[in-house]
Amino acid sequence: MMEYIPLFMFAVVCLVLLAGYPVAFSLGGTALVFAIGGIAGGLFDPAFLSALPNRLYGIMTNQTLLALPLFVLMGVMLEKSRVAEDLLDSMSRLLGRLPGGLGIAVTLVGMLMAASTGIVGATVVTMGLLSLPTMLKRNYSPALATGTICATGTLGQIIPPSIALVLLGDVLSSAYQQAQLSQGIFSPKTVSVGDLFVGALIPGLILVALYIIYITVTVLLKPELAPAASSDESVDDGIEHPSLLTSLFPPLLLIFTVLGSILAGIATPTEAAGVGALGATLLALWKRALGISQLKEIVESTTRITCMVFMILIGASVFSLVFRGYGGDELIQHLFQSMPGGKFTAVFVVMLVIFLLGFILDFIEITFVVVPIVGPVLLAMGIDPVWLGIMIAVNLQTSFLTPPFGFALFYLRGVAPSHIKTTEIYKGVAPFIAIQLILLAMLALWPELATWLPEQIYG
């Protein structure tokens, strides 16, 4: 019975989180309680806790994680500088006369915002405030409107520079090295955040294309769900409209600069994040949207998000240390190896667990708690780390949308008009959940969708 203490500890953490306690302190506190109890009962070696200072120092000096506050600053700066508002206005003018044109415009702007901010909550709330009233005014079906906004808002999980991919890249890098060392490989290969960024490009673009195809087919079959704009609500010569160029060009230039420098090998993700933060600041100054009060709000928001992530990382570090001290690694490895079906079953079970945990935990907690536990075992079974990272990212994106606990649903519910029923939001996201599950199946059948581009660029 004692060998199952790690699983019991994991269950207790979930219960504590459901009770509403802060994530970072729930992880660290539960682990320390189990460690103290284990030391008192002679079940836990206190020498494991002596490794904690080195772990915390490793977090403080981690160059990859330095990209996190910079990408957060870039995203918050763009959110406050009315970039999304200008983009949506221009794209809706350009596409407004097409059937479902506003829905397609929202999808494209959501994609650009995802590539600009990488923050799911900010994108869903921003798009909900800006586009939902316009879509409802143009007699869009509430279900289609809310489903489109929720789905495109979660693109920040998969389209780089995604904060989720930054955190996943760091965790998978450690897990990959640990897996190789356990196999006796003492000059291990590495996997970087840049690898995940490149690997996510094709799946992310496929997902956007599937969204647009779904909206187009839906509107062709049922035009009343998304009427086209009247002549006085759109602009025929949208491509020549000056506001289109002035709203599209700066954020596109910023996105191509950040991603292009990473893809070309000119800059690391951390360096590119610095360029992105500076570019977003200059863009805000150019739009005259950066006064002292706005700058104070942006800096405070960036600091708050960054501190939250790092506190969760510290709590998760304590948790994983105690988990390993109780033999959790060996338990997980034994469970996976005893499953019929080998790698396929192991990956399926992990994806199912991550999907279910996505109902109650944010992607940050899942990345820091679950991936370090299962990652080394899966990677030691010969699974490609880039493919595994993209599968996890898409899976977490799906859990963001799934009723009744999907985080994106709560974000939109908070800003949607009161006459929009929650059941309509649930109904609207259902087809997009199916689309994301289709993408997961495609990645499972054709791993090259995630691994081909990194191999071509980085060899």
d(C-alpha 26, C-alpha 45), whole Å: 22
Long-range contacts at 298-301 (CB < 8 A, ≥ 24 apart): 298/73, 298/76, 298/77, 298/80, 301/76
- For residue 291, pLDDT beyond 60: yes
Is residue 407 within 8 A of residue 121, CB to CB? The reply is yes
pLDDT band at 333 (very low <50, low <70, confident <90, very high): confident
Instruction: Summarize the confidence of residues 210-215 as an average pLDDT.
Output: 94
The amino acid present at 454, given as its one-letter code, is P
pLDDT band at 212 (very low <50, low <70, confident <90, very high): very high
- For residue 229, pLDDT beyond 80: no
368 phi/psi in degrees, rounded to 5: -85, -25
pTM: 0.82
d(C-alpha 285, C-alpha 79), whole Å: 13
- The percent of residues above 70 in pLDDT, for the chain, comes to 92
In the prediction, which pLDDT does 126 show?
A: 75
In the prediction, which pLDDT does 164 show?
A: 82
In the prediction, which pLDDT does 237 show?
A: 45
Instruction: Summarize the confidence of residues 31-36 as an average pLDDT.
Output: 91
Tell me which residue of 140, 24, 167, 163 sits closest to 420, measured CA to CA.
140
Tell me which residue of 141, 138, 140 sits closest to 230, measured CA to CA.
138
d(C-alpha 357, C-alpha 352), whole Å: 9
In the prediction, which pLDDT does 289 show?
A: 66
pLDDT band at 190 (very low <50, low <70, confident <90, very high): confident
In the prediction, which pLDDT does 231 show?
A: 53
d(C-alpha 280, C-alpha 266), whole Å: 20
- For residue 38, pLDDT beyond 50: yes
pLDDT band at 239 (very low <50, low <70, confident <90, very high): very low
- Residue-wise pLDDT tens digits, 356-390: 887 777 777 788 888 888 888 888 888 899 999 99
Mean of per-residue pLDDT scores for the chain = 82
In the prediction, which pLDDT does 69 show?
A: 87
Tell me which residue of 29, 41, 376, 61 sits closest to 188, measured CA to CA.
376
Determine the length of the chain. Answer: 459
- For residue 142, pLDDT beyond 70: yes
pLDDT band at 117 (very low <50, low <70, confident <90, very high): low
- Residue-wise pLDDT tens digits, 440-450: 999 999 999 99
Cis peptide before 161 (omega within 30 of 0): yes
- Residue-wise pLDDT tens digits, 293-307: 888 888 898 898 888
In the prediction, which pLDDT does 121 show?
A: 67
- For residue 434, pLDDT beyond 90: yes
Close Cβ partners of 100 (under 8 Å, ≥ 6 residues apart): 215, 216, 218, 219, 226, 228
Where along the chain do its domains lie? 65-313+327-458
- For residue 170, pLDDT beyond 80: yes
d(C-alpha 304, C-alpha 71), whole Å: 14
Give whole-number Cα distances, 71 to 36, 204, 303, 389, in Å. Answer: 38, 19, 12, 19
